Structure 1
Amino acid sequence: MESQNIRDKKEAAVEVKVHLIVFKLGTEEYGVRIDQVKEVTITPEITRMPKTPSFIKGVSNIRGDIIAIMDLEERFNIERSTAGTQSKHTYTLVMEAKDYTMGFIVREVPQSLSLPVSSIDKAPSFIQDININENFIEGIGKIDDRLIIVLDIYKILTSEEIMELKS
């Protein structure tokens, strides 16, 4: 019985961490839970599709699957950063939802990072986009002097946009 209590205390002392894929949009750092990302790849050639929103850059063939590619900077109206060295490559985070697969373009190599759950604060309500029913900002992570905006990648598109992409 006593050893059980000691084990429970040790497990309580181990803080739960969230594993994120971190990338920059504009000059800010963003992260998504690693379990929402199927793979990260150099962005292949993109074929533009008619009658799609401007933030949908088109479709690409990734490992035999044709998937829509979204520019998150354009989606969020974030001005592209010109600071630093611009790589000739962009990278695509591929996520797989129940009804669709989507690629998200990022300009720098995404990094992996583990954060304690306690270091992620809920985003202030006044920041939330009132036009989107389900909010895609999960919280704001703090590590050292960095702030990382944690996104719920499954909530970036509205249900209307998902229906539009599926048709």
Structure 2
Amino acid sequence: MEPQNIRDKKDVAVEEKVHLIVFKLGNEEYGVRIDQVKEVTITPEITRMPKTPSFIKGVSNIRGDIIAIMDLEERFKIERPSGWHAQHTYTLVMEAKEFTMGFIVREVPQSLTLPVSSIDKAPSFIQDININENFIEGIGKYDDRLIIVLDIYKILTSDEISQLKS
């Protein structure tokens, strides 16, 4: 009897899952793949830099590295909820091949694992036409929540990346 049970268990396909870091921008929930995030920290003091776009808040020293800090709400032109005042914000540190960047979020990010099948491709008409690459990977469904899944590596244009590197 036991060999049959073992065989049955092997036939069951394990559904692929995606592990996200979830945070709020405005009143909506967003997520990024955990493998795109190096660390999450309370936002340190930010030093403003001249000649940078307004959504680049400046640079910060995080564990000895000087990294640019971006405000995602400002980048995406998302209004903050009225009456919101920050005690602390949090920074998601992302490391790409060419640069390291911090992204400010207002609340403590949460970790969430979703089945890949619960993430639908985003309709093309909601993509930002000013940004060449698709930075919205899809829309995740979790219970009654919708989570906009971002590809953090595609949020900046190549021009913006070269501007930050110089």
* TM-score category of the 2 structures, normalised to the smaller one: over 0.9
Number of residue pairs matched by the alignment: 164
Q: Distance in 2 between matches of 1:66 and 1:21?
A: 23
Q: How does 1:10-21 map to 2 (within 5 A)?
A: 10=12, 12=13, 14-21=14-21
| Equivalence for 1:120 | 119
Q: Distance in 2 between matches of 1:131 and 1:90?
A: 28
Please say if residues 69 and 104 of structure 1, whose CA atoms lie closer than 8 Å, have aligned partners that are also in contact.
Answer: yes
Q: Report SS of the residue matched to 2:153.
A: helix
Instruction: Give the letter aligned to residue 109 of structure 1.
Output: V
Q: Distance in 2 between matches of 1:69 and 1:109?
A: 17
| Equivalence for 1:100 | 99
Instruction: Give the letter aligned to residue 93 of structure 2.
Output: V
Q: Distance in 1 between matches of 2:63 and 2:152?
A: 21
Structure 1, unpaired ranges of 5+: none
Q: How does 1:47-62 map to 2 (within 5 A)?
A: 47-62=47-62
**What's the offset of the Cα at 1:131?**
2.1
| Equivalence for 2:80 | 80
Report Cα offsets for 1:61-100 as digits up to 9, x if no partner: 00000000000000000001136x6440000000000000
Q: How does 1:17-166 map to 2 (within 5 A)?
A: 17-82=17-82, 86-166=85-165
Structure 2, unpaired ranges of 5+: none
Q: Distance in 2 between matches of 1:86 and 1:144?
A: 29
- RMSD value over aligned CA atoms? 1.7
Report Cα offsets for 1:33-59 as digits up to 9, x if no partner: 000000000000000000000000000
Instruction: Give the letter aligned to residue 114 of structure 2.
Output: L
Q: Report SS of the residue matched to 1:35.
A: helix
Aligned sequence identity (%)? 84
In structure 2, relative to structure 1, the CA distance for the partners of 1:98 and 1:4 (3 Å cut) is farther
| Equivalence for 1:9 | 11
Q: Distance in 1 between matches of 2:91 and 2:159?
A: 23
Please say if residues 87 and 108 of structure 1, whose CA atoms lie closer than 8 Å, have aligned partners that are also in contact.
Answer: no
Report Cα offsets for 1:106-165 as digits up to 9, x if no partner: 000000000110100000011012222211000000111100000000000000100000
TM-score (norm 1): 0.92
Q: Distance in 1 between matches of 2:40 and 2:20?
A: 13
Please say if residues 137 and 150 of structure 1, whose CA atoms lie closer than 8 Å, have aligned partners that are also in contact.
Answer: yes
